Amino acid sequence: MKLWLTTITAALSLQLHASELKLDNNLAYQLTESLTVEVGQRLAGSDADRRAVAWAEQKFQQLGYDKVWREPFTMQYWQRGQASLSVSAPFHQQLVVTALGGSIATPFDGINSQVVMFDSLEQLKQADAAQVKDKIVFINKSMAKDKLGTFYGSVVGARAQGAVEAAKLGAKAIIIRSVGTSINRFAHTGIMRYSEEVPRIPAAAISVPDAIQLEKMLSRQPELTLHLQMDNKLPGEVESHNVIAEITGSKYPDEIVLISAHLDSWDEGTGALDDGAGVGIVMATGALLKQQGRPERTVRVVLFGNEEGGLVGARAYAAKHAAKLKQHVFASESDFGAGRIWRLDTGFGPNSLPFGQTLQQQLAHLDISLGDNSATGGPDVSILKAQGVPVVTLQQDGTDYFDYHHTPNDTLDKVDPAAMQQNLAAWLITTKAVANSRIDLRQ
Amino acid sequence: MKLWLTTITAALSLQLHASELKLDNNLAYQLTESLTVEVGQRLAGSDADRRAVAWAEQKFQQLGYDKVWREPFTMQYWQRGQASLSVSAPFHQQLVVTALGGSIATPFDGINSQVVMFDSLEQLKQADAAQVKDKIVFINKSMAKDKLGTFYGSVVGARAQGAVEAAKLGAKAIIIRSVGTSINRFAHTGIMRYSEEVPRIPAAAISVPDAIQLEKMLSRQPELTLHLQMDNKLPGEVESHNVIAEITGSKYPDEIVLISAHLDSWDEGTGALDDGAGVGIVMATGALLKQQGRPERTVRVVLFGNEEGGLVGARAYAAKHAAKLKQHVFASESDFGAGRIWRLDTGFGPNSLPFGQTLQQQLAHLDISLGDNSATGGPDVSILKAQGVPVVTLQQDGTDYFDYHHTPNDTLDKVDPAAMQQNLAAWLITTKAVANSRIDLRQ
């Protein structure tokens, strides 16, 4: 394995030589910049994903981690093609569209059908087949903003399950209003699902301005025809990787304090907020912890692969390490952009709540308050929490997160270096506190 | 001509029947909505341009204008194709790019060349040919924001003249940082020019985030290769039209008070701000003036064609009406988006300055102050001003205008109906004051 790593490293030397890293409080930002500038998008299963894996291994080594390795898993690879959507009659206009992740292609000549609009997935579910059959379904549900991203959950169902519900009623395709909070003309991609029970139909999202436009067209002319063309490919099973690195504990090397982010991203932006920022934060945390004096417990940094496809890397990690999950004394993930952390939520055993209070006191100077004890720990880490691993969520301000999330507009210029420093400080304090304590957070 | 108009109208009936207009203070917004929803983009010379011309004629008639006609002119038609730009080595990434209007295509396989960055057009002009030869030039000049759009002028030169200056030094192509003030990932198109003296090279713009990204890549690796591919077409000469309508003056029908906007737009947005808003404002002004009692002088509304290609319709208008420009007692254009009007600038003879002061007093309740006497009247109207026609500029707040201008993000949702009402009120007051006065503003 060592030789093979060396080969990869040599191949990437051109990419990597130029970005020297400084072990200072700007390290998280430096790493996010390096990842997004030198690798860019890194759709799970793609060549760019492989470059990201090699980048991560090399950076961990440069940062002085004690152990660096990758763990393979298999996944279904989905490849974006061209996508176009136009109003073919009576108003001839091109709309901004993106294929949803996992969607099949349309026939080569596209689908030309009348459109039928619903306000929500729930309204679609109650429709008659006669309303929907042979049409393109349009779900036009808007999303409101808040710090926690609360409203994502109530809107994203149309993306995930819309194709199945539309197909049940005989639709030829489905388009949804983007799951996002911006009026900028970007369409929001993200994973969607099929069912074995009903035919697979193409699924896409249009930008918020285009949804508003389409609604206005329909109010003028309910019999509107759309033409959708997409040539996504589903090449089948490929290998991807979780990338893992450790700072070995000085006293209790078998007790694992796991901090994480996900390395993959959607392919239209450079994945700076989702989740380049998280990658930078947790990679920097381990490196600076070692610099500050080796912690007593082992700090393991996991960069999960293929989070976007449905926590695929996290499930592989949990399966591979099932026997050793009891040695995972703590887990947390940074995966909600690059906003400042404003709240500490815990997922501890009842006897450990005072530890959460002590921890919050250490974070108070960063304007971080104490939330409740129902933290998930983050999307990937929720898989570990389900196996009993104690977690925290260092809750970031996500007010603007869904302005950029899963769009071409998720780029480095949206990341505030000062907010990244605040995140890094909070992760250092939290990780160090757990890694240098003897507490059993399961209790 | 009448029969022919009827035919056009019949063909468009499906498009037009549904949008009933109310002659109220929301009329400007209603018209902008109708144009952008029912026609959308209307690139000069395109089929959509012809639909826009027919739309305008029909709307003028619906609004009760006394005369409605179109005046043809010829123009060079430029047709956008696909455009793609990627970093081919060492960082494999796709950048967001748009062809500049008028640019030739690349060879079918594109251009694969090293890039050389300049901070400005001025810096490029001072470069040695050895630095530039066979490369892709990248001009990376940013644009600052203000109410007047002051900084546009100092940045747009790279777009207009960059290809000529780069070609003089042997460049293969030119890309510029978008002339815009937003960090959203949209590229800004707009007209560019060639010279007979040097070879024509392809010209394109990348979004601001992509310019930042490219600069960061170059700081890591100065020897960066780009691959640019575009297949724009230049089909040659076609016909387009100015659309003109009048409210005939009750006492002095030969004295023309000209108010205007431009009907064409760039093709990637729906041209809501540029210049759908202006179209709505001036069409509504004439209709409401007639409703309020026919003015004494004739109010002529001109919707110029092909402003974006270089004031082509305005030049045709000035040429055709050269003998009658003396009867044009006033001209003004609305073409700076949909922000509130905050200042009245005049371009009057010295004896007419008191009229400007009186007019401002009538506008004061709309928070409009008096500027200076160096108004251009607007892009198209500047051609008439050069022939001695008195003008005003009702100066709009353009702080956010260049966030959207010439990008796919110029859509109706960016237009504030309340600000449109304020614009309409100011145009009504101004036009009525001039049309019901006997003043000779040339004096």
Whole-angstrom CA distances from B162 to A223, B115, B137, B306 are: 47, 15, 9, 22
Catalytic residues of A: 307
Into which CATH architecture does domain B2-78+236-435 fall?
3-Layer(aba) Sandwich (3.40)
CATH of A81-231, one of 3.50.30.30, 3.40.30.10, 3.40.50.261, 3.40.800.20: 3.50.30.30
- Say what angle helices B417-435 and B27-38 make with each other, to 10 degrees: 120
Asked if B51 is an interface residue toward chain A (Cβ–Cβ < 8 A), one would say: yes
DSSP-assigned beta bridge partners for residue B243: B70, B303
Mean pLDDT, chain A cut into blocks of 10 residues (443 residues total): 37 49 96 98 98 98 98 98 93 96 98 98 98 98 94 93 98 97 97 97 98 97 96 97 98 98 98 98 98 97 98 98 98 98 98 98 98 98 98 98 98 98 98 98 98
Q: pLDDT at position A89, please?
A: 80
Do the Cβ atoms of A216 and B408 come within 8 Å? no
Do the Cβ atoms of A412 and B216 come within 8 Å? yes
Asked if B413 is an interface residue toward chain A (Cβ–Cβ < 8 A), one would say: yes
**Cβ-based neighbours of A410, under 8 Å, separated by 6 or more:** A265, A266, A268, A269, A270, A271, A272, A273, A274, A404
Within A79-186, residue ranges assigned H as helices are 121-125, 129-132, 152-155, 157-168
Whole-angstrom CA distances from A181 to A145, B160, B248, B323 are: 6, 35, 48, 55
Q: Give the model confidence (pLDDT) of B178-207 as tens digits.
A: 999 999 999 999 999 999 999 999 999 999
Q: pLDDT at position B19, please?
A: 64
What distance in Å separates the CA atoms of residue A437 and residue B57, rounded to the nearest whole number? 79
Phi-psi bin for B434: left (phi > 0), alpha (psi -120 to 50), beta?
alpha
- Is the separation of the CB atoms in B186 and B147 below 8 Å? no
Q: pLDDT at position A17, please?
A: 44
Do the Cβ atoms of B38 and A91 come within 8 Å? yes
Q: Shortest CB distance from A37 goes to which of B37, B41, B217?
A: B217
Do the Cβ atoms of B185 and A408 come within 8 Å? yes
Q: pLDDT at position A328, please?
A: 98
Do the Cβ atoms of A208 and B93 come within 8 Å? no
- Kindly report the nearest CA distance between residue B302 and chain A, in angstroms: 25
Q: pLDDT at position B18, please?
A: 47
Residues of B whose CB is below 8 A from A36: 213
Tell the burial category of B365 from Cβ atoms under 10 Å away from its Cβ (0-12, 13-18, 19+): exposed
- Kindly report the nearest CA distance between residue B409 and chain A, in angstroms: 5
Q: pLDDT at position B442, please?
A: 98
Do the Cβ atoms of B413 and A212 come within 8 Å? yes
Q: pLDDT at position B359, please?
A: 98
Do the Cβ atoms of B213 and A51 come within 8 Å? no
Residues of A whose CB is below 8 A from B38: 91, 217, 220
Q: pLDDT at position A88, please?
A: 87
- Kindly report the nearest CA distance between residue B295 and chain A, in angstroms: 34
- Kindly report the nearest CA distance between residue A90 and chain B, in angstroms: 6
Q: Shortest CB distance from B212 goes to which of A15, A91, A413?
A: A413
- Kindly report the nearest CA distance between residue A325 and chain B, in angstroms: 38
Do the Cβ atoms of A185 and B409 come within 8 Å? yes
Asked if A33 is an interface residue toward chain B (Cβ–Cβ < 8 A), one would say: yes
Token reading at B356: 């400007």
Residues of A whose CB is below 8 A from B185: 186, 269, 408-409, 411
What distance in Å separates the CA atoms of residue B271 and residue B262, rounded to the nearest whole number? 10
**Residue extents of the structural domains in chain B:** 2-78+236-435, 81-231
Residues of B whose CB is below 8 A from A98: none
Asked if A436 is an interface residue toward chain B (Cβ–Cβ < 8 A), one would say: no
**Cβ-based neighbours of B38, under 8 Å, separated by 6 or more:** A91, A217, A220, B15, B16, B19, B55
- Kindly report the nearest CA distance between residue B164 and chain A, in angstroms: 31
Q: Which of A144, A115, A143 is nearest to A131 (CA)?
A: A115
Instruction: Please give the DSSP secondary-structure letter assigned to residue B258.
Output: E
> How big is the A-B interface in CB pairs under 8 Å?
104
What distance in Å separates the CA atoms of residue B155 and residue A104, rounded to the nearest whole number? 44
Do the Cβ atoms of B184 and A409 come within 8 Å? yes
What 3-state class would DSSP assign to B208?
helix
Asked if B220 is an interface residue toward chain A (Cβ–Cβ < 8 A), one would say: yes
Whole-angstrom CA distances from A207 to A95, A96, B271 are: 8, 6, 17
Do the Cβ atoms of A90 and B413 come within 8 Å? no
Asked if A260 is an interface residue toward chain B (Cβ–Cβ < 8 A), one would say: no
- Kindly report the nearest CA distance between residue B141 and chain A, in angstroms: 16
What distance in Å separates the CA atoms of residue B135 and residue B121, rounded to the nearest whole number? 16
Instruction: Please give the DSSP secondary-structure letter assigned to residue A103.
Output: P
The CA-based diameter of chain B, rounded to the nearest angstrom, is: 73
Regions of chain B short of the pLDDT cut 70: 1-19
Q: Which of A373, A356, A372, A366 is nearest to A397 (CA)?
A: A366
Catalytic residues of B: 307
Residues 277-296 of B with CB under 8 A from A: none
Q: Shortest CB distance from B209 goes to which of A91, A217, A411?
A: A411
Do the Cβ atoms of B412 and A96 come within 8 Å? no
What 3-state class would DSSP assign to B201?
coil
Q: How far is CA B48 from the centre of its chain?
A: 16
Within A223-338, residue ranges assigned H as helices are 277-291, 312-320
Q: pLDDT at position B203, please?
A: 98
Test the A interface: residue of B96, B185, B212, B223 with most A CBs within 10 Å: B185
ipTM: 0.93
Q: Shortest CB distance from A413 goes to which of B96, B209, B220?
A: B209
Test the A interface: residue of B184, B218, B407 with most A CBs within 10 Å: B184
Asked if A37 is an interface residue toward chain B (Cβ–Cβ < 8 A), one would say: yes
Instruction: Please give the DSSP secondary-structure letter assigned to residue A351.
Output: G
Residues of A whose CB is below 8 A from B270: 93, 213
Q: Give the model confidence (pLDDT) of A199-223 as tens digits.
A: 999 999 999 999 999 999 999 999 9
Q: pLDDT at position B88, please?
A: 87
Q: Shortest CB distance from B91 goes to which of A15, A185, A412?
A: A15
Cα atoms in the Cβ-side hemisphere of radius 13 Å centred on B17: 8
Residues 57-96 of B with CB under 8 A from A: 90-94, 96
- Other C-beta atoms closer than 10 Å to the C-beta of A407 total 29
Asked if B40 is an interface residue toward chain A (Cβ–Cβ < 8 A), one would say: yes
